Structure 1
């Protein structure tokens, strides 16, 4: 898990910097659009802390929080849903 977490952190930081928002945030969390992320946030279904930034529109998350959530979610997947490497 530590290796996956480290790789996700490095990749997301390199691609997006320390802050994710808009389409990149929605995509990283597995939503098809910002609108679907917005609905999930309203329903309390987003498991990553979201926050606003002064003088910026929309909601944001720390890239490292997203990477950590992704790796924890992946590692918590049931063994039946795993795909074996080729």
Structure 2
């Protein structure tokens, strides 16, 4: 996660509120969770895809359960 900037890291962690195993969502949902416009959400999702954290699945996006758990730890402040 050190290779992500602060905004992308915060947004990655915030995806944990969506729950699920594995974690899936669409772009409008991500924008709502992140309280940002769709273009900003698209940019963050693109960064997460480039880093191999998120995978596109049709019109949705997917994150492995291990990464979703890590996002939850970051959100809770329990990760180091």
Tell me if both proteins adopt one fold, taking TM over 0.5 as the criterion: no
The TM-score normalised by the length of structure 2 is 0.43
Query: Which protein is richer in strand relative to its size?
Result: 2
Q: TM-score, normalised by structure 1?
A: 0.41
